[in-house]
């Protein structure tokens, strides 16, 4: 059973460009979570999605950041007009819909903004 | 609001010695508690979790943790450290409800194993 998949693993963007990060949850999982990890920091929750619905986006910056989890295909975290402060590792986790929703993490996308 | 405090950003132990990584939490509702391990440039791997029931939980790689409600703690231990245990360890809390919310993480503890 494949784990959570994220791509790209590394992404370099110049200031002002757009970054698109993709996450495919584990098979059978319908819940997706995005986290950001800054250097020397723990992970900070950004957004929680189910298929076609944003459940909790309390950790998302109000501007430039958006997330979606369409009926078909991976979840996308989109950062518009990136700035240097967006440089971080972005992790996706998925959990099943029933029972205890233990979150399983992907390998992350490391975004570098030049 | 929930929070997690991990005491000691770096912990160094000798190979074969006891590992103790401290985690204290605050939560207004009965918490679900987790320990994750992160190796360099990799994602987080679940070590163990506490949801309900037995307060001493066993995880992978010989690690275990004990939920102590009175102390609001969930410390991680391993009787004998191995070189392969060197990594970053994160404690996290969820507010229950099936864990259907974002986890709140501590800042992490970097475990160093001395030969």
pLDDT in tens, A14-71: 999 999 999 999 998 889 999 999 887 789 999 999 988 998 898 999 999 999 999 9
A105 contact residues in B (CB cutoff 8 A): 36, 43-45
pLDDT at B97: 52
pLDDT in tens, B11-64: 999 999 999 999 999 987 778 899 999 998 888 999 999 988 889 999 999 999
Contact A105/B at CB under 8 A: yes
Mutation site, B49, B102, B104, interface A, largest A CB count within 10 A = B102
Mutation site, B43, B52, B88, interface A, largest A CB count within 10 A = B43
How do strand B10-14 and strand B109-114 relate by DSSP bridges? Answer: parallel
Dist CA A75 CA B39 (whole Å): 24
B90 contact residues in A (CB cutoff 8 A): 42-43
What's the rounded mean pLDDT across residues A68-95?
Answer: 95
Residue with tokens 């972005």: A90
- Please tell me which residue of chain B has the smallest CA distance to A55: B101
Please tell me which of the candidates B32, B43, B104 has its beta carbon nearest to residue A105: B43
Q: What separation in angstroms does the CA of A113 have from each of A34, A76, B60?
A: 19, 18, 36
More confident residue, B12 or A2: B12
């Amino acid at each position: 059973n494949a784990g959570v998949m994220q791509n790209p693993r590394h992404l370099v963007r110049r200031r002002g460009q757009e970054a698109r990060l993709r996450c495919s949850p584990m098979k059978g999982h319908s819940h997706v979570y995005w986290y950001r990890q800054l250097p020397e920091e723990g992970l900070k929750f950004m957004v929680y999605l189910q298929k076609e619905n944003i459940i909790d986006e309390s950790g998302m910056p109000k501007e430039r950041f958006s997330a979606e989890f369409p009926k078909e295909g991976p979840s996308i975290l989109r950062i518009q007009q990136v700035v240097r402060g967006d440089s971080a590792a972005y992790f996706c986790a998925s959990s099943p819909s029933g029972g205890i929703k233990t979150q399983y993490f992907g390998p992350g996308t490391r975004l570098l903004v030049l | 609001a929930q929070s997690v405090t991990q005491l000691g950003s770096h912990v160094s132990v000798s190979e074969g010695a006891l590992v103790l990584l401290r985690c204290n939490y605050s939560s207004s509702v009965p918490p679900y508690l987790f320990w994750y391990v992160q190796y360099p440039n990799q994602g987080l791997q679940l070590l163990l979790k506490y949801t309900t029931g037995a307060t001493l939980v066993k995880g992978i790689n010989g690690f275990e943790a004990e939920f102590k409600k009175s102390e609001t703690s969930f410390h991680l231990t391993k009787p004998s450290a191995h070189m392969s245990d060197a990594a970053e360890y994160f404690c996290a809390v969820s507010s229950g409800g099936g864990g259907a919310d974002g986890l709140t993480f501590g800042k992490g503890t970097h475990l160093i194993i001395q030969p």
